Chains A and B, each alone.
Chain A
Amino acid sequence: MRNQIKRPSLMTLIFALFGAAIVVFLVAPIIKMIFTGSQQGLAEVLSSSDVRNAIALTMVCALLATVIGMVLGVPLAYLLARRTFFGKQFVEAVVDVPVVIPHPVVGIALLLVFGRNSFGGQLFNRLGVTIVGDIPGIVLAMLFVSVSLLINAGRDGFQRVDSRLEGVSRTLGYGSFRTFLRVSLPLSWRALLSGAIMMWARAISEFGSIVIVTYNPKVASVLIYDRFTSYGLSYALPVAVVLVLICMLGFALLRGINARGDQLKAL
């Protein structure tokens, strides 16, 4: 029977056909864009200080949002993974809220809280920080729409660590915080890192809320939108291509980390 090639069933063929359609639908626009874009003005784009500034601003703001997300979100992720407390389900629901709110609505909500005449805006103003219409606004909008990715990834990562390992660490003389640093964190860093990259990539791609909170200085997505509405497709396209390439790079990094993690697990 060795030479007989097993033929796929009719069902497999039909499912593969449907699957191929959706994969092509996802990939085709991006590939088409990259090849169209690269023939036009890529060099112009990269030499334009507008574009370079927008891309640098996007990267830095996304990084800042991710760092804030790590500092505030990782402890929450740990609590959600390990402790039971009153209102835990409510907190878990709240973490997922940004996923279901339309992003312009997020922008408007942030305006209400941090706008010039609001309590939050005045509080930060007194500290010399302007939020709306400035860089902090970008960071906050990015944080709002992307931090749930990090928190959920972190929570799943901590949950995969056997809690009895923490118990053993405690019996060996480490308090709960040192146990967190010496056992829980090193055993879930891969989940946290991939959560952070996801958060970062999501922050880079944010547009809807940022365009409302801070139009200027322009992040890359706002710049693309601005060029598209003011000058048309051919001006917007090269910037879009650069942004897509950067996002893909982050995504490839993420896949690499996860694949290596699976390999280690198999050992």
Chain B
Amino acid sequence: MIRLVDVSFRVGTFELQSINLEVQSGEYFAILGPTGAGKTKLLEIIAGIESPASGEVWIDDQNVTALPPERRRVGFMYQDYLLFPHLTVRKNIMFGLHDKTRSEKARRVDEISQLLGIQHLLTRRVSGLSGGEQQRIALARALAPQPRALLLDEPLSALDPKNRASVRTELTSLQKRLGTTTIHVTHDFEEALVVAERVAIINKGEIVQLGSTEEVINRPNSAFVADFFGSENLFKGEIARRDAATGSEDVAYNAVFKTASLQLTVIAERDGTAYAMIRPEDIIVSTEVVHSSATNNLKGRIVKVEAAGPLVRLTADVGVRLVALLTKQSLASLKLDTESEAYFSIKAAAIHIF
């Protein structure tokens, strides 16, 4: 467990203001915020690399505020991994095992490198390794001494975008297997939502919202949080691949995304909990069912009409809140206003699943 009580920090004009936070044992927690919000500083304070101006840091019912980092038993991974360039991969992983016997060291290095699939790299020097390899080694180095908590500072941002999603999945399954309390800092809301159960959103040195991922996307408590998620149409639900459900061979639109009050046909490559995001400009509004290539046709009541520059923003209740953008001319020709009924069509390909 990690607990921050009224933690404040100040350097130059930058400030963290009375941060309160509690991360449960074994939890995967995300801290989300724009660059410069103070996320890295917060991790450094938990690790003891920085000292707070005031407040307390607790790890597993121990007040560690006054303890130096070497006595906190917290693993830390920076976004650029920071392997020791003067040591081999094996020596890097062994670095935190200095109080163990020779045979214990060897066993632990074997164990952890097997877990992360890096046995073949052990004798290599650090220079010339790929980003993904460096990341695994940094992770192995942090995990080898069996830390009480793992702090990850933007662990995926230095990776090739192609590999990011798969490494993200690996990271969460590794954490589940080890059960290490983990705090994952990121500026990417997709990443935060996928890896964590709970998330704190931080801006200008302050936690602006803290809660389950569902809470923060469904009930953002400020314009900042809402904006940060970039889309008003963001839903958390379950994916069931249709071929599993009905035996259909249809591969183009092969999945159903379900929440309590919404069901959408989507394109997805996996089952389970997922997020669906629809850009408001990708929603086609009409007054009757249109036959088009769109596979999702939702019926709902318009609750709000607002001007948004040259466009109009419609908020409708289709079981969930849905926001669509259309031009003023379209709105006029459709003769739509608040309380009108309307149809909303969305192509499966326009729904971003993550």
Contacts and interface: CB of A to CB of B under 8 A. Distances in A.
B127 interface: yes
Interface of A: 162, 164-165, 167-176, 182-183, 186-187, 267
Interface string B67-96: 011101111101000101110000000011
B206 to A, nearest CB: 24
Contacts of B78: 164, 168
Contacts of B73: 173
Contacts of A176: 68
A170 B49 contact: yes
B227 interface: no
25 contacts: A162-B82, A165-B82, A167-B44, A167-B47, A167-B76, A169-B84, A170-B47, A170-B48, A170-B49, A171-B47, A171-B69, A171-B72, A171-B76, A171-B96, A171-B142, A172-B70, A173-B70, A173-B73, A173-B98, A173-B145, A174-B70, A175-B70, A183-B84, A186-B86, A187-B86
Contacts of A169: 84, 95
Given A172-B95, A172-B141, A167 B49 contact: yes
A151 B82 CA distance: 27
B99 interface: yes
B49 A174 contact: no
Which of A167, A168, A187 is the most central at the interface, judged by chain B CB atoms within 10 Å of its CB?
A168
Nearest to B98: A173
B190 to A, nearest CB: 26
A168 B76 contact: yes
A176 B84 CA distance: 16
Q: Which 4 A-B pairs have the closest CB atoms?
A: A172-B96, A170-B69, A167-B49, A171-B76
Which of A165, A167, A183 is the most central at the interface, judged by chain B CB atoms within 10 Å of its CB?
A167
Which of A171, A173, A186, A267 is the most central at the interface, judged by chain B CB atoms within 10 Å of its CB?
A171
Determine the main DSSP class of A at the interface with B. helix
A171 B69 CA distance: 5
B40 to A, nearest CB: 10
Contacts of B72: 171
B85 A187 contact: yes
Given A164-B49, A175-B68, A175-B70, 20 more contacts: A165-B82, A167-B47, A167-B49, A167-B69, A168-B78, A169-B84, A169-B95, A171-B47, A171-B70, A171-B75, A171-B76, A172-B70, A172-B95, A172-B142, A173-B70, A173-B96, A173-B98, A174-B70, A176-B68, A187-B84
Nearest to A189: B86
Contacts of A165: 82, 84
Interface of B: 44, 47-49, 68-70, 72-76, 78, 82, 84-86, 95-96, 98-99, 127-128, 141-142, 145, 147
Nearest to B99: A173
Contacts of A186: 86
A176 B70 CA distance: 9
A30 B76 CA distance: 56
A267 B127 contact: yes
A171 B49 contact: yes
Contacts of B49: 164, 167, 170-171
Contacts of B96: 171-173
A161 to B, nearest CB: 10
A183 B86 CA distance: 8
A267 B128 CA distance: 8
Contacts of A182: 95
Contacts of A167: 44, 47, 49, 69, 76
Nearest to B147: A171
A187 B85 CA distance: 8
Nearest to A167: B49
B284 to A, nearest CB: 50
A26 B86 CA distance: 39
Contacts of A173: 70, 73, 96, 98-99, 145
A201 B95 CA distance: 37
B76 A174 contact: no
A170 B70 contact: yes
A260 to B, nearest CB: 15
Which of B70, B99, B127, B142 is the most central at the interface, judged by chain A CB atoms within 10 Å of its CB?
B70
Nearest to B77: A168
Nearest to A187: B86
Nearest to A168: B82
Nearest to A163: B49
A31 B43 CA distance: 60
B129 to A, nearest CB: 12
A219 to B, nearest CB: 38
Contacts of B147: 171
Contacts of B142: 171-172
Nearest to A171: B76
Contacts of A170: 47-49, 68-70
A167 B80 CA distance: 14
Nearest to A172: B96
Contacts of A164: 49, 78, 82
Contacts of B84: 165, 168-169, 183, 187
